[in-house]
């Protein structure tokens, strides 16, 4: 599964770095690093909605606060 987190400037200001760190931690604690491929990406033009994250091409908007529930639902829920 390919997960891409925007590291463009607007998303960076909204906490994309924190989201990446949380995701890395979650991947580790769930032991799914062989299944989840975390990537950074530049602006995808969706900055207005918050930090832009795609899961196999499907677009989501996250904030650091929603990262954990997102991970449980959209990532663990699809594995």
Please, what is the minimum distance in Å from the beta carbon of residue 31 to ligand FES?
Answer: 29
For ligand FES, the binding residue among 11, 36, 53, 75 (CB under 6 A) is: 11
Q: Residue 64's closest CA among 18, 23, 21?
A: 18
The answer to whether residue 8 forms part of the interface with ligand FES (CB under 6 A) is yes
The answer to whether residue 55 forms part of the interface with ligand FES (CB under 6 A) is no
Instruction: Report DSSP letters for 11-72, one per residue.
Output: HHHTTHHHHHHHHHHHHHHTT-TTT-EEEEE---S-GGGSEEEEETTEEEEE-GGGHHHHII
Indicate the residue among 9 and 33 with the shorter CB distance to ligand FES.
9
- Interaction site with ligand FES (CB under 6 A): 6, 8-11, 43-47, 52
């Amino acid at each position: 599964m390919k997960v891409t987190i925007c590291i463009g400037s607007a998303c960076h200001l909204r906490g994309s770095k924190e989201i990446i760190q949380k995701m890395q931690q979650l991947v580790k604690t769930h032991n799914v690093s062989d299944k989840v491929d975390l990537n950074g990406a530049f602006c995808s033009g969706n900055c207005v909605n918050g930090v832009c994250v795609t899961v196999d091409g499907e677009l989501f908007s996250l904030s650091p606060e929603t990262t954990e529930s997102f991970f449980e639902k959209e990532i663990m829920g699809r594995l």
